[in-house]
Each structure stands twice: as C-alpha cells, then as structure tokens.
Structure 1
Amino acid sequence: MPSELFVFDAYGTLFDVHSAVARQRAAVGPNADRISDLWRRKQLEYTWTRTMMGAYRDFRQLTAEALDFAAASFGGIDTETRANLLAAYETLAAYADVKPCLDALRARSARLAILSNGTPGMLNAALAAARLDGQFHAVLSVDDLAAFKTVPAVYELVTERFGVRPEQVCFLSSNRWDIAGAKKFGFRPIWVNRSNQPDEYTDLKPIRTVRSLADVPGLDV
C-alpha cells in the first residue's frame, strides 16, 4: 500500500555526521578524517554495547565519550578544539537533498517524522540550525525508552505515536543496520546509501535503495 507516513533517521540521513570535524579541520590536524570516522564508529558501538548491558547513557554523553576515544587514538586534541567539536555536533549541517525531499513529500500531504538515537535537545538544536524545525509532525527520541536502535521498542515509538501498523510506515535511513532493524520490526524501509556501500543483512532487505533523498518523492512506496 502507498505510504503517507515517512519516518527519517537523523544522523547520517538528514544530518552530515562528518560536518563537525570538517568545520574544525585545521584545528584537528592531518588526522581529521580518520578521527571523524572513528568518532562515528565508537559512538554507534557505545549505543549498542550499553543497550545490551542495560547501562544507558544518553546520546550526547556517548558522543563526547566517543570523541575522547577517537582523539586519544591519534595523539589527542586540545580542550578548546574538543569543546568546538562537541558544539558543532549539536548543529550539524543538513544534506542539500533534505529540504527539497521534505517539501515534495509535504506537498502531497504526507506525514513526516524523525526517529533518532539523539536526545531531544540535540535534535531540536540541529533542526533549528538547519532551518528544518516545523517540518515534522513528530520528533521521536530513544530517550523515552533509555535504549537505542535496533531494539524493537524503539521502532514501536512510531506506531504508538501515530496509531498505525508497522507496514504503513516508510522508514528512511542511511545506516544499513538501522534499515535491518526497521525491516525486522515490519516497516517498509528505504536505504539511503549515500556512500555506495555494499549490502549486508541480506535476509532483511530494504524495499528500495537510493543514493539520495532526492530520489524518494518519485518512488511508489
């Protein structure tokens, strides 16, 4: 059935997680790209590990801890640069394809939402900085559960909030593991494969794979 409820992951899908380091590249130094990559990997690792342990810390705290590990792995950064990076993460740049996609979906009266590991404060700050506040009918955070994706109860936040069945939800994420979790829950996921990664979790396939959100409004989903 065609969906008119589109739910977006935030980090990596709407917001460029590497834009924080990009803004501080000179201060971070020659290992900037490797620090950025490791920062993201450890951030996600901490969400999965702490969820399995039942030892929740919110996404803002884990983002800081992941940065500290990544920076220390390449010789460290000074306190001012650390503070600037964490501040920049609160106002990550939105990808250029985000606003046109949202506008096109809203033009056909689709309902739009975010489902994210981010804290409400982080999400509100990022949306305001990108001038996307007011674009979504709901901004849902895992903070309500004290557990991160891919716990099924996280995806259930959407069905409870909108009073829909899982198969009525079109879920969009750039993270293949998130697509797998959403598919297992029963959503109809679209993988926004921005960096042309190989497929994985092949038993939990997306209904579509696109390279950009610009492709989404034209899909029959």
Structure 2
Amino acid sequence: MTAAPGPSRPAAVAFDVVETLIALEPLGERFEKVGLPAHSVREFFPRTLLYGVGLNVTGDYVPFPVAAAAAVRTIARHSLTPDQVDYVVSGMRELPAHPDVEPAMRVLNEAGIRVTCLTNGAPEVVEAFLARNGLDPLVEKVMTTSELQSWKPPAKVYLHAASELKLPPERVCLVACHAWDCHGAKRAGLMAGWVARAEGGYDEIFAPADVRGDDLVAVARGLAELPSSD
C-alpha cells in the first residue's frame, strides 16, 4: 500500500493579521485611560469577531472598525462617550508587530514563497501597520474581507484570496494563530499553518493544520522545508 502524499511547499502564504501579526496587548493602556481594566483587551477582539461574523450569518455586513466600536461599547456597558470609544478603537492604528513577524517573513521570502495578508481588518489600518513596522517591502499584497463584504471563515473568502493570487487553492497557505481560521482555510481547499501564540494548543474539533509551531519563525521554516511540487 502506498502512503498518501503529504503537503507540498506552498507558492504563497496569506497571513491573518490581528493577533497573528499585530500585538493587541498595548491596547490595554487605552482601555485603562477611559476607566476600564487593561485586561478588557482580552474580551475586545473575540467580541469584535462575534459581532462581525454573527451579522454575516444573518446576511448583514459591517466593517471591522464598526464592529470594534460596538465591542468597546458593550465591554463598557455603554458608559463611554463616542470620543472615548473612538480613542480606544483608533489605538489599533498604533499597535506593534510581534517580534517573530519580520524574521518569519524573511524566511518565506528567501524560500521563494510569496508573502501576503488576508484579514478581516480595515485595509488602511493593515497597510499602515506594515509600513510603520518596516514590513511592507516583505509583503506583496494585502487582501481584506471587505472586498467581498464577508468576514472569515466562509470558503468564498479564502477562495477569493487564491483567485487574487492567481493560484489554485492548494498552493496557498493561510497562516494564523486561530484554529477556526485554519479550519476555514482547510475546508476551502487551502493549506494552513498555525502558530500557538493565542491558543496554546490546536483543538481536535478543527481540521488539522499542515504545519504548526510555537512561533511564526517555526511555522515559516516548516513551510519552507516542505517538498516542492514543481
């Protein structure tokens, strides 16, 4: 009996952005300045996702900043002024990259793997983040779910990314710190790379990622070391 072939090296990687590339922890300072505990940041992103994805399920769409503002209002039990809410949300424009992001992208560049981003976030925020952190020379393209008026994880989002890259889905690898995002990519026919930064372990309810690592450099090296399909 011949064993089923394993995954091949992808032609392109599409990085998830928020939490995978962007460090959210510094946003806790802004929560404190409007009178909320710094640990509110741990509820902020999951609730933003809940609102964005939840509205999508009902056939509606809101951009990331709108869902984020609603999340802040709910966390504060609607006790903040509009200016205070805007102050917290606008902090997304100043957040740093995790220290493993640049070296991971360089590993992929050196292996000849195209580097892109696929995010629910606002395109102008993502582009500013890349420029501010000196990452824009390493990234070929930023793709956002706003182009489809749909948040991840419906299959059409991942397939749109593959189409934009002019590659078959199986030649594109989503890299994320969220197992549900990796699951969505796998179900759409893409590869997936998972970094343990946010979840610590990859739960068995999700389709297995092709490569896993404790940091992005380990994931990038794992992808670069896969056999070529050419």
Q: Same fold (TM over 0.5)?
A: yes
- Residue 25 of structure 2 aligns to which amino acid in structure 1? H
Q: Check 1:8–1:68 CA distance in 2 against 1; reply closer, same or farther (3 A cut).
A: same
Q: 1:121 aligns with which of 99, 121, 124?
A: 124
- Tell me if 1:64 matches 2:65: no
Q: Which residue of 1 aligns with 2:164?
A: 161
Alignment of 1:190-205 (within 5 A): 190-200=193-203, 202=205, 204-205=207-208
TM-score (ref. length: structure 1): 0.89
The alpha-carbon deviation at position 71 of structure 1 amounts to 1.9
Q: Check 1:25–1:52 CA distance in 2 against 1; reply closer, same or farther (3 A cut).
A: closer
Q: CA-to-partner distance for each residue in 1:69-111, whole Å, 9 max, x for gaps?
A: 11227xx456654333222112221100001111221123221
- Residue 59 of structure 1 aligns to which amino acid in structure 2? F
Poorly superposed stretches of 4+, deviation over 4 Å: 77-81
- Any stretches of 5+ residues in structure 2 without a counterpart? 1-7
Q: What RMSD in Å do the two structures reach over aligned CA positions?
A: 2.0
- Tell me if 1:185 matches 2:200: no
- Residue 209 of structure 1 aligns to which amino acid in structure 2? R
Q: Check 1:208–1:202 CA distance in 2 against 1; reply closer, same or farther (3 A cut).
A: farther
- Any stretches of 5+ residues in structure 1 without a counterpart? none
3-state SS, counterpart of residue 209 of structure 1 = strand
Q: Check 1:196–1:150 CA distance in 2 against 1; reply closer, same or farther (3 A cut).
A: closer
Find the aligned partners of 2:193 and 2:32 in 1 and give their Cα distance: 36
- Residue 47 of structure 1 aligns to which amino acid in structure 2? G
Percent sequence identity over matched residues? 24
Q: Check 1:57–1:26 CA distance in 2 against 1; reply closer, same or farther (3 A cut).
A: closer
TM-score (ref. length: structure 2): 0.86
3-state SS, counterpart of residue 43 of structure 2 = helix
Q: Which residue of 2 aligns with 1:47?
A: 52
- Tell me if 1:37 matches 2:18: no
Q: Check 1:87–1:164 CA distance in 2 against 1; reply closer, same or farther (3 A cut).
A: same
Q: 1:7 aligns with which of 2, 8, 14?
A: 14
The alpha-carbon deviation at position 140 of structure 1 amounts to 0.3
Find the aligned partners of 2:211 and 2:108 in 1 and give their Cα distance: 17
3-state SS, counterpart of residue 123 of structure 1 = helix
Q: 1:143 aligns with which of 129, 139, 146?
A: 146
The alpha-carbon deviation at position 191 of structure 1 amounts to 0.9
The alpha-carbon deviation at position 3 of structure 1 amounts to 1.7
- Residue 27 of structure 2 aligns to which amino acid in structure 1? A
The number of residue pairs the alignment matches comes to 217
- Tell me if 1:173 matches 2:173: no
Check whether the contact 1:180–1:201 (CA below 8 A) recurs between aligned residues: no
More divergent stretch after superposition (201-210 vs 154-163):
201-210
More divergent stretch after superposition (209-218 vs 180-189):
209-218
